[in-house]
Each structure stands twice: as structure tokens, then as C-alpha cells.
Amino acid sequence: MLSIKGAAGKDLCDPSLKRSRRDVLRIGGSGMLGLSLGSMLNLQAQASETPLGGGPGWGKAKSVILVYLQGGPSQLDLWDPKENVPDNVRSVFKPISTKIPGIQFTENLPRLAQLNDRFTMIRSMSYTPNGLFNHTAAIYQMMTGYTTDKVSPSGQLEPPSPKDFPNFGSNLIRLRPVDEPMLPFVMLPRPLQESNVVGKGGSAGFLGKSHDPYTLYPSGDDMDMEKMSRIKIDDLMLRPEVFSVRLQRRARLRDLINQQMPTINKAVESYELDEYYDRALSLIVSGRAREAFDLASEPVALRERYGQNTFGQSCLLARRLVEAGTRVVEVIWPKVANSDNHSWDQHSGLSKRMKDQSAPMFDAGFSSLIEDLDDRGLLDETLVVGVGEFGRSPQRGVSTSGNNNSADGRDHWPYCYTCVLAGAGIRRGYVHGKSDKTASAPLEDPVHPGELLASIYHSFAIHPETMVYNHLNQPRELVKAQAVTKLYS
């Protein structure tokens, strides 16, 4: 089939995007693959008839910060404690009151307990996995809204592939590109990872590398709390011998040469080389991104409030990035999933690791992020999401995913866990859904990860069933789910 590649984003069923030369040539050659012109047009018509959406929360968000608690934090030991349950279910941590009457957290989250009148909690996140529910497959589903065809018996997936479904952030920046000279999508301070599978679910997949996130992974191991002070952004810097005026002069020279190009060479214009060059040039010359990465410009007291550690400073940087115009920021919990110390994957030693390591960092960083955004007036247009790939087993010391667990550890549990959302029209002081007496299953209003992603798209005025085309030119919905409109005021 004859196909001339067109501009990125022109094969979307979005009314704001015009049909490209690529589309026309694809239709002309489609009969060779057994798809008639009539059926092709019918397919596109059906896709374009996707409902336009609307309702509570529609289009309220201009940016999103996903605080991804990779590893799967325990709902029972953080924000859904249970009383009058067997000893091997009850949390070892004391329940405390919150700003919402009748809603309790554990003592691990004292600051968030005084802030939950500003956010919504979903206590009924739930899904049934394919095979064993281990991290890789769960992360991929949470980030893309899809499960893969190939899942090993252990629940592991193959390494990232250009054929993968896109991370939701890649879909967002394609459908809602930034209009500022700023990085559209940033992922920090480490990649999504379990064992040797690194980055699965974290790329643009079949959308192409132009929609990949800018990855900010400072050097240092996972226990290095000073790594955010060593951020390097050399690719956003001008070389000392190249002044911005000189660089812009080169751009004008390029434009002059392009005007004199032979007609035959104009065939490459569909690659939008000028567009990408201009975007890169604007990004470098403006200095906006470099300034956003300058954490040292923040008051010491505010940095201390976030926490002088990798997670806290990543949350602070997330606020600075959206303030400068970044559309999507994904803050990945700074410890790899299946590991010890401050990982959320607490198969053993939960009591000490939760109390002394993971919970204090999370409580300080996440609460400061919500407060800081709210105080600056940014929360109205910034959607904040805090969630992991699953929760932890109600019973301690049992195996639910083939892992060994001590009497002071909980295994993986996708059937019921908690998510937090704030900003961009999300209701304040609201608890959506309810778990049963042991936090084993939802009693009311279960929410699938796909519905959570659908709600994120909804916040950006994007219908979740908007069609994109994969590497085989097959139409695929952004996610096969509907937004949970009860989450919005």
C-alpha cells in the first residue's frame, strides 16, 4: 500500500484535526488489504460519531500531576483502616480522625488527615487481573488502560515495545498540545520498573517517540536522598559559544534556504520538520524549562515542608513544571517496586518500613503539593492523582501472588484499594465508594483503573472513547471506559 507519512496527530478522529495527504493515500490503497473505500469511510464516520462529552468536570484541567505510588501501598495501613477485625487483618497503626467526620486514616498520615477536606478519596478501586497480579502487568494497565496479550505465568511482561499502547500522558499531549515553549510531558525521578523490565507502560508506544515523556532521572541509587540536587538538563542548555540571537539568525537562514528548495524536495514537508525545529528552538531559547528545574530558587522553608528527599523534591518540581506550562507530570515513587527499604512493596517488615520510611515521605510531599497548588490558585486547573497499581492483602502473612510474605507483610491485592484526586473540578471532602469490613472488596461504587483514566481524559475535555490508530492502522479507543462523573462537583 502506498503511504506517505503525514504530520503527527493527523490520523486522529478529532474534529479539530484535518485529513492529511497520508489519509487520502491510505484510503486509495486500502482495497489492497481487503478494506473497501466504502467500509473505510464508514469506519471513520462511526469513529467520528463518538459523543462529545460534557457534564461535571468536563474540560476543567489544563495540567495533571500523577503521583504514582509504584509498589502498591496498603490501604489498611494508610487511609482505610478497619476496626473489629481479626488481628492478622487489623493494622498495627492507630486510627486517627480527619477533617471529614466519620472518616479515619492511620497515624501514618497526620498531615493528609488535616487536608482531606480538599480532595476526593476513592476507597473502591478494584479490578480482576489476568493471571497472577504482579507489578509489570498492573503498571501497564494503570498507565495505558489496556492489558497486554502476552502475560507470563508470573505476571511479568515483555520489555517496552513500539507496538505498546501509549501512556495516557502521551495521548494527552497529542490531543491537547502545549501552547507554551515548555516541555509537554515530564517523568521523574526514575522509570517504571519491576526486576529487569524497565519503562513498560511509560512510553508513547505506537504514537511514536515524538510523544514520549522527557525523562528526568538524576544519577544515584534509590536510597540517595540528595539526587534531585544533581539535576542535569544539558540538552536544554545553549552552548556558551552560541547566543540566542545567533541561533535565531540561523533559523531565519534555514527558512530562506527552504524557500529556494526544488519542488521535489517539498515532499518532506509532511514530516513537519520546521514545526519540530521551531518547538525545540523556542524551548531552548526561552529558558523557561531551565528555570523550572531550578529548585534552589525556592525558599528553604518550603523545600523543608515538602521533604528534603527524592520524593518530596520531585513533588515540588512537579508544581514548578505545571506552573511553567507543562501539561503532564508523572512523579514515580523513587524506589523500584519489588525491593526493600522505602518501597511500598512491603512483603515483610511492613511496620517499620511504613512508619519510618515510606509513609512520612509520602505524607509530607503529597500534602505539601496539594496545599502549595491550592495556595497559589493552581489547583483549580491542575488535576492531582495519587494511586498505585494495586493495594495490599487484607490478611498479613498470606501469599496471593506467588510471593513469600512474613507475618508482618502483606501481598498484592487488586480487588480493593484507594486512590486520591484533587483539583480541576474534583469534589472536596468527598469519599467515593466504600470497602467491606476487611477492605477486601468494594461494597459500593467500584472503580476500575480504566474508569480512572477515562476520568482524567474527561477533565481535559477529551471523550475517553476517542479513536487513535495503532501501528497497524487499526482504530483503538483511548480507553474502553466511561468517566466517573460523581467525582466532580
Q: List all residues 6 or more positions away from 196 whose beta carbon is below 8 Å from its beta carbon.
A: none
Low-confidence ranges of the chain (pLDDT < 70): 1-52, 131-132, 149, 151-155, 235-286
CB 181 within 8 A of CB 327: no
Give the pLDDT of residue 425.
Answer: 97
Looking at the fold, whether 278 and 421 belong to one and the same domain comes out as no
Tell me whether residue 183 is in a domain: yes
Tell me whether residue 15 is in a domain: no
Q: At what angle do helices 449-459 and 168-175 cross, to 10 degrees?
A: 20
Give the pLDDT of residue 5.
Answer: 34
Cis peptide before 153 (omega within 30 of 0): no
Give the pLDDT of residue 156.
Answer: 73
Give the pLDDT of residue 264.
Answer: 42
DSSP 404-466: ---TT---EE-SSEEEEEESTTBPSSEEESEE-TTSSSEEE--B-HHHHHHHHHHHTT--TT-
Query: Number of structural domains, the chain?
Result: 2
Give the pLDDT of residue 11.
Answer: 40
Tell me whether residue 175 is in a domain: yes
CA 128/CA 172 separation, integer angstroms:
26
Convert the pLDDT of each residue in 406-432 to its tens digit: 999 999 999 999 999 999 999 999 999
Tell me whether residue 399 is in a domain: yes
Tell me whether residue 150 is in a domain: yes
- CA nearest to 140, candidates 153, 129, 124: 129
DSSP-derived secondary structure letter, 356: I
The range of the structural domain enclosing residue 73 comes to: 63-211+294-331+352-487
Regarding pTM above 0.95, the answer is: no
* 393-414 per-residue burial string, b: 16 or more CB within 10 A, e: under 16: bbbbbeebbebebeebbbbbbb
Give the pLDDT of residue 155.
Answer: 63
488 SS3 class: strand
16 SS3 class: coil
CB 89 within 8 A of CB 47: no
Looking at the fold, whether 204 and 247 belong to one and the same domain comes out as no
Convert the pLDDT of each residue in 150-185 to its tens digit: 766 666 788 899 999 999 999 999 999 998 888 999
Helix (H) or strand (E) holding 120: strand 120-125
CA 125/CA 25 separation, integer angstroms:
44
C-alpha cell at 349: 517488615
Looking at the fold, whether 282 and 412 belong to one and the same domain comes out as no
Give the pLDDT of residue 134.
Answer: 83
Give the pLDDT of residue 26.
Answer: 41
Give the pLDDT of residue 269.
Answer: 52
CA 141/CA 157 separation, integer angstroms:
11
Looking at the fold, whether 199 and 306 belong to one and the same domain comes out as yes
Tell me whether residue 140 is in a domain: yes
CATH value at residue 459: 3.40.720
